[in-house]
Structure 1
Amino acid sequence: MKLGFLTACLPDRSLEDIVTWAALHGYEALEVAAWPNLGSRPFTATHLNAEGFGPGDADRVSSLFRGHGLTLSSLAFYDNNLHADADERQSINDHVMSLIDAAALLDCPTVGTFVGRDPGKSVAENLRMAEKVFPRLVDHAGEKGVKLVIENCVMEGWHPDGYPGNLAYSPELWEWMFDLGLYLNYDPSHLLWMGIDPVAAVRPYIDKVAHAQAKDIELFPEKRNRYGWPGIAVERRDPWNVGWWRYRVPGLGQVDWVRVVDALYEGGFDGVLSVEHEDPVWGGTEDRIETGLQVAHRTLRPLIVA
């Protein structure tokens, strides 16, 4: 297993700068953010431009990683592949296709995205739509020797009432995804706030975990007693502010990383554990983000066999 991080936490840095910093601070891999230019949308970045990405670009990026002794673990584009607007949905699907092509040129094993959801349709209706949307993407990935991985993030901010906006939040849905040929980008933090034991949930499916993310979470049960599980309802000005939990870097929340990492090892996972830094305490400036990444490294590095 190798320890890496998702580059989206440093959207204004160049990939070259991030690679240099990561190697200097003991990281072994990077999950590279590869959104198209989306303006000010949070937790996104464009550190690799998939459109027009060719062999020369692949040589340059591969040389950069090789020169610093780093692994490129995944290309990251977490967006709504079931978007309610047909044109937007097609654009997102097409970008995933471009990332699969770029990953193949880079010998990068995975491309990460979301299933997503049309919030105007039921879960059952969305699943039937996904069964029409994803075969094209999965088949193309298979032809290119790339695995398409889905993060189990709830994406509650995509639903007007704070319900799941990404239909990959439970083992029941993982089994449905696996039947489509998709793999899991396992993140334990999302399971914890949904009341699911992250270790018990993943144990039967570790052979389907092609990539893993390390994000922690801090829960405030006394606030949940006021809002209930979906979170703030009356004055929810920020769709992402549930009101009774917040993300943290590993070591500052309630995920039991000893159990999580041990379960991954026991199940035979030998891929990359990638820190996804969305901690509001250690955010806001690049210096604080770097500190957060160092906290995560100090927490996880002793648990990973060198």
Structure 2
Amino acid sequence: MTQIGMRIPPKLGALGMESLAKWAKSIGLDVIDVPKYDQDIKHILEQNGLEVGSIDGIGAVGSTKLLNKDDAERQNAADALKEQITTIAQLDGKVIFMCLVPDDSTQSRADSFAIWKETFPDIVKHAENNDVTLAIEGWPGPAPYYPTIGCTPEMWRAMLEAIPSKHFGINYDPSHLVRLGIDYLRALEEFSDRITYCHGKDTRILSEELYESGTLPATFGAHYGFSEGSWRYTIPGQGSVDWGEVALRLDRFGYTGNIGIELEDHRFWGSLEAEQKGIIKAKEHLELYFK
């Protein structure tokens, strides 16, 4: 049975971990994905009958110096990540979430991949020795360069060939694949044995906006939050993703991890009440298939 959890949106996060954990348990969540993990957070989760899901790696959100062209900058970032891996392992954490966006957004994905290929084998070896797994997020990064590596099948194939360790894999988030025009079910089939975590987030394609600006970011700004024009992120069940089919295939492939709701939907944002409503609605849809 796949457990359902959530990443922490800002208003819920402002409650503090104790109040957040109590609320999460009260609505039937099993897991919390956390931006950091220490003994205090571990204790709070356990006291409330919850488990830790993924843990943000250093530089996981935003940009990372792990892909910096400067050797010293890159080594410092790698050492910090390995130290974090050791600490997380000591607390029995298992999955580190990472989004590989270079701190120079103009750096090409090919250049970033070449740097990654030199830097990451040693990091993944350290993770393997500590029984920790890295889950690479598929957000393509900010416009106009979309510099993230690890967001398309082309890149996944090259990265997973370079590092065959099962301690390095994909955070499967179909919302990014839908907005990029990638077949999210075909990707699930091809990379099923390297999916190490899942996000519960959806994307709706906006036909009128698609006519107006095509797949380019809207010239004068998107009409909605969490959008660039022709698409917008939504909670599960209100976009293009067939979650019943996703759940069926994950089960067939033997996936034993969690699915963490990532709330990025303008209708459920901006207030504590809105975030709570969005998490509850997302959970209700996912548990139709994952419980």
Length-normalised TM-score, structure 2: 0.86
Q: Is the 8 A contact 1:80 1:92 kept in 2?
A: no
State whether structure 2 residue 173 is matched by structure 1 residue 187: yes
Q: Distance in 2 between matches of 1:115 and 1:151?
A: 8
Q: Distance in 1 between matches of 2:190 and 2:34?
A: 28
Q: Distance in 2 between matches of 1:248 and 1:277?
A: 8
Q: Is the 8 A contact 2:67 2:116 kept in 1?
A: no
Q: 2:23 maps to which residue?
A: 21
1:176 to 158, 182, 191: 158
Identity of aligned residues (%): 27
Which whole-Å deviations, capped at 9, do the CAs of 1:41-73 have from their partners, x for residues lacking one? xxxxxxx4xxxxxxxx42x43332222221211
Q: 1:31 maps to which residue?
A: 33
Q: Which of 247-256 and 226-235 deviates more?
A: 226-235
Secondary structure in 2 matching 1:291? helix
Distance 1:281 1:131, change over 3 A: same
Q: Distance in 2 between matches of 1:13 and 1:85?
A: 39
Distance 1:2 1:128, change over 3 A: same
Q: Which amino acid aligns with 2:191?
A: Y
State whether structure 2 residue 149 is matched by structure 1 residue 167: yes
Secondary structure in 1 matching 2:13? coil
2:271 to 275, 285, 289: 285
Secondary structure in 2 matching 1:262? helix
Q: 2:41 maps to which residue?
A: 61
Q: Which amino acid aligns with 1:277?
A: L
Q: Distance in 2 between matches of 1:14 and 1:4?
A: 17
Q: Which of 258-267 and 169-178 deviates more?
A: 169-178
Q: 1:44 maps to which residue?
A: none
Q: Is the 8 A contact 1:224 1:231 kept in 2?
A: no
Offset at residue 174 of structure 1 (A): 1.1
Secondary structure in 1 matching 2:266? coil
Q: Distance in 1 between matches of 2:225 and 2:260?
A: 25
Q: Is the 8 A contact 2:127 2:133 kept in 1?
A: yes
Q: 1:4 maps to which residue?
A: 5
Which whole-Å deviations, capped at 9, do the CAs of 1:114-159 have from their partners, x for residues lacking one? 122343333322211111222232122122110111011112x1x4
Q: Distance in 2 between matches of 1:64 and 1:32?
A: 12
Secondary structure in 2 matching 1:140? helix
State whether structure 2 residue 93 is matched by structure 1 residue 108: yes
Offset at residue 228 of structure 1 (A): 2.7
Q: Distance in 1 between matches of 2:108 and 2:225?
A: 20
Q: Which amino acid aligns with 1:4?
A: G
Q: Is the 8 A contact 1:282 1:291 kept in 2?
A: yes
1:153-164 equivalences in 2 (<5 Å): 153-155=139-141, 157=142, 159=143, 161=144, 163-164=145-146
Q: Distance in 2 between matches of 1:203 and 1:284?
A: 36
Q: Distance in 1 between matches of 2:133 and 2:286?
A: 25
1:148 to 122, 134, 141: 134
Q: Which of 181-190 and 3-12 deviates more?
A: 3-12
Q: Distance in 2 between matches of 1:8 and 1:210?
A: 22
Q: 1:73 maps to which residue?
A: 53
Q: Is the 8 A contact 2:17 2:44 kept in 1?
A: no
1:68-147 equivalences in 2 (<5 Å): 68-76=48-56, 77-81=60-64, 82=66, 86=70, 92-117=77-102, 118-147=104-133
2:215 to 225, 229, 237: 229
Offset at residue 297 of structure 1 (A): 0.9
Q: Distance in 1 between matches of 2:239 and 2:108?
A: 33
Q: 1:294 maps to which residue?
A: 280
Distance 1:264 1:198, change over 3 A: same
- State the aligned residue count: 279
Offset at residue 90 of structure 1 (A): 5.7
Which whole-Å deviations, capped at 9, do the CAs of 1:74-95 have from their partners, x for residues lacking one? 1023343355584775665455
Q: Is the 8 A contact 1:232 1:241 kept in 2?
A: no
Q: 1:39 maps to which residue?
A: none
Q: Distance in 1 between matches of 2:75 and 2:227?
A: 29
Offset at residue 201 of structure 1 (A): 1.1
Offset at residue 198 of structure 1 (A): 0.9
Give the unaligned 5+ runs of structure 2: none
Give the unaligned 5+ runs of structure 1: 35-47, 49-56
